[in-house]
């Protein structure tokens, strides 16, 4: 069995989604046209080919390996969350020297067009590259203050010549003053590439706190709650937990990982944490229902409350709410979109089948 073929939706479903330009399937599959040698996103606005001239791929790199070129109109490589080579090099350079101040002239010298970089960062991080750099340096400053560094040293190490300017920017970014930062927990975030589109991961020293698809409608509200209710100061950066989840996610999507080992920290109500604990018990490749979880908690009439707590889960895939379905077997609500939910279930079932076949 080919795992990648197994995770594709039924052929008729993909043809329908392609012809109707159904954007809900973005990242779930890619359309390749034999007569033109070009592959596209499902929602591409170009003239639709005849279904008999199309083949489908689960990943963009598969289409390229088969000899297809990326469509210039819908840019399927961007849809697959593959950062341009220049951006990847730039991010590595920032990690290697976070204190370096990047000017437009330096970016141009590296072959990076500043305006395109600005647009890319706005799309994928919600801020410009230079704003991201400032926020990242402030995150480092916050970590220093937490470790006992003086506010003056943190300000000057971050490149601020004015202490008042540092205080103002710090407060605007973290919603707290530098003096109170010692009592705030830094929550570092980074963008991750996945076959289903870009995700954002957030972690503090105790573990991973959030993992969501960037286009999840509730993402902004979730981050605001982490800031306002739980006192987190959010800043771009890296730590061991973020590195670990990036590696484990890649293994999961390759069908080589059935459970995650990254440490977790789950702020939430007592009932929500009970529901999330039950989610963790659902075996890989299997499903359950809201009613079954309610019964496991000794509250058989609490299916609706279980559903609400399920929707409050901030750790997509890790806490496998995609394995919870309706009592009638339907793929009920999923924050990342039902096509993604179906993809994840097909991925897990296919991996289980392959493992069973190899066991004989």
DSSP string for 180-237: GGGGSEEEEEEEE--TT--EEEEEETTEEEEEEETT-TTHHHHHHHHHHTT-EEEEE-
**Which position has the token pair 């890619």?**
30
Q: Which of 40, 44, 74, 321 is catalytic?
A: 321
Q: Is 312 helix (H, G, I), strand (E, B) or coil?
A: coil
Q: How far apart are CA 324 and CA 329, in angstroms?
A: 9
> Any catalytic annotation for residue 71?
no
Q: Which of 218, 221, 200 shows the shortest CA–CA distance to 210?
A: 200
DSSP string for 287-310: -EEHHHHHHHTT-TT-HHHHHHHH
For residues 270 and 312, is the Cβ–Cβ distance under 8 A? Answer: no
Alpha helices in the chain (DSSP H): 3-6, 11-19, 60-65, 76-79, 85-96, 104-109, 114-125, 129-146, 151-157, 163-174, 219-228, 240-253, 270-280, 290-296, 303-311, 338-359
Q: How far apart are CA 191 and CA 211, in angstroms?
A: 10
Q: How far apart are CA 279 and CA 287, in angstroms?
A: 10
Those residues whose C-beta lies under 8 Å from the C-beta of residue 317, and which sit 6 or more positions away, are 211, 249, 252, 344
Q: How far apart are CA 284 and CA 226, in angstroms?
A: 29
Angle subtended at Cα 215 by Cα 230 and Cα 83, rounded to the nearest 5 degrees: 105
Residue 84 DSSP class: -
β partners of residue 190: 201
Report, as residue numbers or ranges, the catalytic residues: 321
């Amino acid at each position: 069995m080919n795992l990648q073929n197994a995770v594709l939706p039924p052929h008729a479903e993909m043809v329908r989604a392609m012809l109707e330009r159904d954007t809900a399937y973005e990242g779930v599959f890619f359309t390749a046209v034999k007569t033109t040698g070009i592959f596209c996103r499902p929602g591409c606005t170009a003239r639709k080919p005849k279904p008999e001239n199309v083949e489908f791929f689960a990943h963009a790199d598969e289409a390229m390996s088969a000899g297809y070129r990326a469509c210039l109109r819908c840019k399927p490589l961007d849809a697959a969350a593959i950062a341009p080579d220049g951006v990847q090099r730039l991010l590595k350079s920032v990690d290697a020297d976070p204190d370096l101040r990047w000017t437009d002239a330096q970016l141009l010298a590296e072959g990076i067009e500043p305006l395109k970089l600005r647009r890319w960062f706005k799309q994928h991080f919600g801020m410009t590259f230079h704003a991201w750099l400032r926020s990242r340096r402030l995150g480092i400053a916050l970590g220093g203050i937490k470790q006992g560094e003086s506010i003056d040293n943190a300000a000057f190490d971050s490149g601020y010549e004015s202490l008042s300017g540092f205080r103002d920017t710090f407060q605007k970014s973290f919603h707290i003053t530098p003096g109170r930062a010692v009592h705030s927990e830094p929550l570092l975030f980074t963008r991750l590439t996945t076959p289903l589109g870009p995700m954002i991961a957030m972690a503090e020293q105790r573990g991973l706190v959030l993992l969501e698809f960037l286009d999840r409608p509730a993402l902004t509200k979730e981050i605001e709650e982490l800031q306002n209710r739980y006192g987190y100061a959010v800043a771009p950066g890296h730590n061991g937990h973020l590195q670990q989840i990036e590696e484990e996610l890649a293994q999961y999507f390759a069908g080589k990982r059935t459970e995650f080992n990254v440490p977790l920290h789950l702020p939430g109500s007592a009932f929500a944490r009970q529901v999330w604990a039950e989610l963790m018990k659902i075996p890989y490749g299997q499903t359950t229902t809201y009613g079954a979880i309610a019964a496991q908690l000794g509250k058989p009439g609490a299916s609706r409350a279980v559903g609400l707590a399920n929707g409050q889960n901030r750790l997509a895939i890790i806490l496998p709410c995609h394995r919870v379905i309706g009592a009638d077997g339907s793929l009920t609500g999923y924050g990342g979109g039902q096509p993604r939910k179906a993809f994840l279930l097909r991925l897990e079932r296919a991996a289980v089948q392959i493992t069973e076949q190899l066991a004989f």
